[in-house]
Structure 1
């Protein structure tokens, strides 16, 4: 058996073994300082106090559906309908806690369905973004700005950033393995003491690369 055939056979066997270990939950832990877990984020809404009162009634408080990756943040039971110039999307979940400004985060495919043209933005950066209508069980809110496509980003603590050798605000590439793998560009590093290590992408990116929440991806600087 030639060397090239032997190497190819070894690689094939290794790949099959790793796939079976992964299915059984026994895959090796990703190498520290290189791999980061991904969270695929569906369309969602952040609301402020004023708008929550209008949508759900004065003094209403969000109730927790489940905790999400970042400490203190949660997916709420409460949902709203988004209405744009060309369509609507119902049952869009609110994320808590309350924010200073109401923000709507959609994927590009959602934007086309609604008939809006939001830019790719970091959370909280609203100047020049389109508005949209939110409908709740008690009332309707029309925001003049705040609809965005969220910038791909990775949350890190300062210790994480040191381990990865990156800085806050730096943009990196991320390598995706698998049949639909490739390189994902323009991924922003966000560093803060209270962050948990997690990469956030929208559902369009997740579908394009065949990713699911919890997959481990490699940072390429």
Structure 2
């Protein structure tokens, strides 16, 4: 490897690190929309799918070591049911189902707004699998909006685990999500989770980015982007393991932020260069 190439690679790495640091210093938070899903204990996996059954992976989720399983169940309530509700893995110690308020109305139930894992006294529901069914006295919730982050993210964003913040998102329908809970663990990856009702309220699409605002902080109107007919995003978070030229052409922003370890094809780099799109990596 010649000296010129080494210098070029080092320059690109430094540029990527600077962009990531800038994203974090601007209090930008990637947003993911969490559709209805269930978490199952191993006992309930076997009750619904058969003795000795283990969940099988369909696709990795953005949070480390979490996956969408191939398995689905039916959730039923007094007034209706919802089919093909995705099971997320791996199996947990407690079973819970997370639905939107729109889903709850279809089921005919009124589950509480809760943090994931807080199911004591929550809604009752029925689950039906290919090998059996379960009626649970509790476990059905509408998940509270929250932000996953590492201890380093928390330090850079100047927040603490358990703190509540506001996240604003600009666009044709600007929206502010209040009482968003911070959840800190080095097992997490920086990302805000909202349900489909919350996403629809703000016309939130894949790759959306919010702005974190701590209690006591305010933004003047001039600091908030004016609504337009088209959502203008400065950067897109790309979470697949391989970035191809077709992926680059589908992205409408001028910056693509990748997960560490993502493979970039040579044609993807050329296409990005032609379109004036920068590519960087997130810590």
Residue in 2 aligned with 1:5? none
Corresponding position: 1:31 with 2:35: no
Residue in 2 aligned with 1:103? 96
Distance 1:132 1:179 in 2: 37
What does residue range 1-221 of structure 1 map to in structure 2 within 5 Å? 31-33=23-25, 34-221=27-214
Moved more, 157-166 or 206-215: 206-215
Q: SS where residue 123 of structure 2 aligns?
A: coil
Q: Tell which has more relative contact order, 1 or 2 (C-alpha 8 A, sep 6+).
A: 1
Distance 1:185 1:134 in 2: 32
- CA root-mean-square deviation: 1.1
Q: CA deviation at 1:216?
A: 1.1
Q: Deviations over 1:65-113 (max 9, x none)?
A: 1111110000001000000011000000000000111100000000010
Distance 1:112 1:50 in 2: 29
Aligned length: 194
Q: Deviations over 1:156-177 (max 9, x none)?
A: 1000000000000000000110
Q: CA deviation at 1:127?
A: 1.5
Q: Deviations over 1:166-189 (max 9, x none)?
A: 000000000110011121111000
Extract unaligned runs of 5+ from structure 2: 1-18, 215-283
Q: CA deviation at 1:208?
A: 0.5
Residue in 1 aligned with 2:239? none
Q: SS where residue 24 of structure 2 aligns?
A: coil
Q: CA deviation at 1:124?
A: 0.9
Extract unaligned runs of 5+ from structure 1: 1-27
Residue in 2 aligned with 1:14? none
Distance 1:212 1:145 in 2: 32
Q: Which runs of 4+ in 1 moved over 4 A?
A: none
Distance 1:31 1:200 in 2: 18
Q: CA deviation at 1:31?
A: 2.5
